[in-house]
């Protein structure tokens, strides 16, 4: 069997390899083969431990000796243009790794840990078809809702979810539904993680006075058709983004929340009055990511009692069987290959907008959305499990909390109530 380094030779040619010696070459190549998004090199008592993040999950890999780990860190510094001397403050650099027509760009962060250093590598580049909305996992009905909101050409679309739930990818896919070559599109992001063709991407740089709020105000003076905001975290940015949406621009923004109604709460909590949200909001996409089962080794299992309960409580038909992860050479024994989204896609029509303007509580707004046929993320996830795209373990991993939230709201969870009450009392 060819070693990773030998495969690398075949694939990249001698010219490239000369600039990336081992152990760096093997480290990066192994990550690319496994489709890791991140590589961590942590210092431990025995030396340096390598960890890969694949499809959102950390997998411990080999432990390098202290000497080998130090060589790797030094090679990383050289390749990413960082000072060779051991650093006493965190440092960030970037290196490029050509791969056929593509070019991986890898952000390297080194940080002092006790008397040594550890490293993090983030693979930034993505294949060009990554911005294709049909790759995200929307149902045809949800995709139609998304498409008509984007082509409405004004108002605000919010993409919400936890950290690492794929919000930025969705935002870019939404923007790519428009012909970006014939629109003026600006983004303000913190940080810019991926490049999007034709989009003027501005990165927040608070050290030099470029805050998100300042960036947004500048964009508004530059005749934008479409504005992307990643992500709304402060009051000033929230208010400017909402005003831009009211003034006939299309604003697509990410915001941290657990579900569609929670996104409305978050925006209001940041100081945007309910009547402004009701008038500007067109669509909310709440999402998370689940791992896709490897089609080569997934095996059928009977539907257990707990799973039956979940399906029936969610008003869904109980499937004949479900699939479960196993492991084979095709998926490097992980049992999974790639990820897909689970979504709650809430279109804001006149009725929902009126509800929002009236300052409806989270639970009331959620009930209103369910009555109008908006499925929860958990329901979307259960459907994906029933279709064999993923397994129940994955749905529980990402949706339990969300279901918990819905249950909490049924019991009127005190924190949510408090936030809703605070929002309500300072509205208008």
Binding site for Zn ion (CB under 5 A): 294, 296-297, 328, 330-331
**Nearer of residues 119 and 298 to Zn ion, judged by Cβ:** 298
CB of 295 to Zn ion, least distance (A): 8
**Nearer of residues 268 and 291 to Zn ion, judged by Cβ:** 291
CB of 320 to Zn ion, least distance (A): 22
Q: Which residues are within 8 A (CB) of 51 and not within 5 positions of it... i.e. 6 or more apart?
A: 39, 40, 42, 58, 59, 60, 61
CB of 391 to Zn ion, least distance (A): 13
Report d(CA 330, CA 170) in Å as an integer.
Answer: 28
**Nearer of residues 104 and 332 to Zn ion, judged by Cβ:** 332
**Nearer of residues 67 and 328 to Zn ion, judged by Cβ:** 328
Whose CB is nearest to Zn ion? 294
CB of 57 to Zn ion, least distance (A): 15
> Burial letters for 172-184: b for 16+ Cβ neighbours within 10 Å, e otherwise?
bbbbbbbebeeeb
DSSP secondary structure, 177-193, as one string: TS-GGGS-EEEEESS--
**Nearer of residues 257 and 331 to Zn ion, judged by Cβ:** 331
Q: Which residues are within 8 A (CB) of 367 and not within 5 positions of it... i.e. 6 or more apart?
A: none
- The DSSP bridge partners found for residue 118 are 111
CB of 348 to Zn ion, least distance (A): 41
Q: Which H helix or E strand runs over 26?
A: helix 24-33
CB of 29 to Zn ion, least distance (A): 21
Report d(CA 86, CA 171) in Å as an integer.
Answer: 39
CB of 333 to Zn ion, least distance (A): 7
- What phi and psi, each to the nearest 5 degrees, are found at residue 126? -135, 155
How many Cβ atoms from other residues are within 10 Å of residue 139's Cβ?
14
- The DSSP bridge partners found for residue 291 are 339
Segments in 52-189 forming alpha helices (H)? 66-79, 140-151, 167-175
**Nearer of residues 105 and 326 to Zn ion, judged by Cβ:** 326
Residue 76 in contact with residue 92, Cβ under 8 Å?
A: no
**Nearer of residues 174 and 325 to Zn ion, judged by Cβ:** 325
Q: DSSP letter at 387?
A: T
- Compute the half-sphere exposure of residue 217: CA atoms within 13 Å on the CB side of its CA: 9
| 143 conformational bin, left if phi > 0, alpha if psi -120 to 50, beta if neither | alpha
CB of 290 to Zn ion, least distance (A): 16
**Nearer of residues 34 and 193 to Zn ion, judged by Cβ:** 34
């Amino acid at each position: 069997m060819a070693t990773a380094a030998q495969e690398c030779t075949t694939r990249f040619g001698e010219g490239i390899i000369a600039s990336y010696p081992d152990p760096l070459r093997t480290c990066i190549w192994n990550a690319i083969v496994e489709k890791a998004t991140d590589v961590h090199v942590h210092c431990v008592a025995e030396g340096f431990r390598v960890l890969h993040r694949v499809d959102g999950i950390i997998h411990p890999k080999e432990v390098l000796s202290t000497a080998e780990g130090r060589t790797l860190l030094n090679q990383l510094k050289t390749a990413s243009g960082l000072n060779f001397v051991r650093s006493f403050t965190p440092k960030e650099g970037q290196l490029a790794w050509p791969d056929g027509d593509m070019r991986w760009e890898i952000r390297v962060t080194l940080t002092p840990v006790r008397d040594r250093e550890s490293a993090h590598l983030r693979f930034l580049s993505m294949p060009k078809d990554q911005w294709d909305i049909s790759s995200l996992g929307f149902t045809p009905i949800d995709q139609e809702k998304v498409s008509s909101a984007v082509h409405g050409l004004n108002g605000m679309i919010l993409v919400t979810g936890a950290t690492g739930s794929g919000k930025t990818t969705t935002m870019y896919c939404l923007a790519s539904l428009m012909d970006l070559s014939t629109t003026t599109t600006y983004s303000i992001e913190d940080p810019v993680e991926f490049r999007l063709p034709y989009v003027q991407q501005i990165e927040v740089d608070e050290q030099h006075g470029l805050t998100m709020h300042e960036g947004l105000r500048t964009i508004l003076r530059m005749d934008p058709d479409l504005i992307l905001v990643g992500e709304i975290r402060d009051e000033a940015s929230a208010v400017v983004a909402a005003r831009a949406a009211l003034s006939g621009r299309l604003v697509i923004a990410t915001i941290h929340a657990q579900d569609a109604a929670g996104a409305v709460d978050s925006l209001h909590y940041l100081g945007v009055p309910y009547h402004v949200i009701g008038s500007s909001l067109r669509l909310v996409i709440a999402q998370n990511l689940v791992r896709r089962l490897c089609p080569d080794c997934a095996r059928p299992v009977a539907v257990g009692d707990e799973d039956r309960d979940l399906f029936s409580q969610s008003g869904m038909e109980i499937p004949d069987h479900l699939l479960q992860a196993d492991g084979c050479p095709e998926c490097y024994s992980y049992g999974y290959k790639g990820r897909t989204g689970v979504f709650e896609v809430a279109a804001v029509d006149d009725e929902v907008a009126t509800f929002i303007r009236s300052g409806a509580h989270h639970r009331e707004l959620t009930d209103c959305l369910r009555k109008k046929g908006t499925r929860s993320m958990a329901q979307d996830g259960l459907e994906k499990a029933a279709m064999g795209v993923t397994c129940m373990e994955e749905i529980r991993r990402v949706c339990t909390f969300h279901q918990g939230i819905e249950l909490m709201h049924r019991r009127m969870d005190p924190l949510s109530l408090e936030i809703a009450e605070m929002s309500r009392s300072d509205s208008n």
